[in-house]
Amino acid sequence: MPQHPRTSLLALALTSGVTALLLTGCAGWQERVCMPDEDPVLAVNSSGSGCVAEDEEPAPGWTRYPEGKVPVHLDDKWDRYWSDKTVDENGRIVPQPQ
């Protein structure tokens, strides 16, 4: 019994999609810095970083990242930016202590 042309096209499209996912290894996936309900924070005058619940204030000695400079994924633009910087007690961006 001959296959319907639409069935063949659908099977080809599905097979192609699955093959593409397998070959790319899900290249579009990036590990998040924090869980979706958390905000990343950094240690004041130090090299530490962590996460805090969105509705909580960071612990003393910690602060949220400056607006517009918040890392979301590991190795994204802002994660790399903060790799050698922190903020001081006045919120100024400064080099991390050695």
pLDDT, tens digit, 9 for 90 and up, residues 57-75: 999 999 999 999 999 999 9
Residue 26 within any structural domain of the chain: no
**Domain extent at residue 62:** 38-95
Query: How many angstroms from the chain centroid is the CA of residue 27?
Result: 14
The answer to whether position 53 is within a domain reads yes
In a domain, 87, yes or no: yes
User: Residue 30 domain-assigned?
Assistant: no
Q: Tell whether 58 is covered by a domain.
A: yes
Residue 50 near residue 62, CB atoms below 8 Å? yes
Structural domain total, the chain:
1
Tell me: the pLDDT tens digits for 10-45? 554 555 555 544 444 455 678 999 999 999 999 999
**Residue 90 resides in a domain:** yes
d(CA 88, CA 44): 5
